[in-house]
Amino acid sequence: MLKNTIQTALRWLFSPLVFSIAFLAPLTTQTLIALELMVPGTPAIIAGLIAGGAFGLMAHFRGSWIWIK
Under the rule (CB under 8 A), what is the footprint of other proteins?
10, 13-16, 19, 22-23, 26-27, 29-31, 34, 59-60, 62-66, 68-69
Minimum distance, C-beta of residue 16 to other proteins, in the bound complex (Å): 5
What is the distance between the alpha carbons of residues 55 and 8, in angstroms, rounded to a whole number? Answer: 22
- From 43, 53, 42, 45, select the one nearest 19 (Cα to Cα): 53
Would you say 10 or 54 has its CB closer to other proteins? 10
Residue 18 identity (one-letter amino acid) = V
Would you say 1 or 65 has its CB closer to other proteins? 65
Kindly state the DSSP code that residue 24 receives in the 8-state scheme.
I
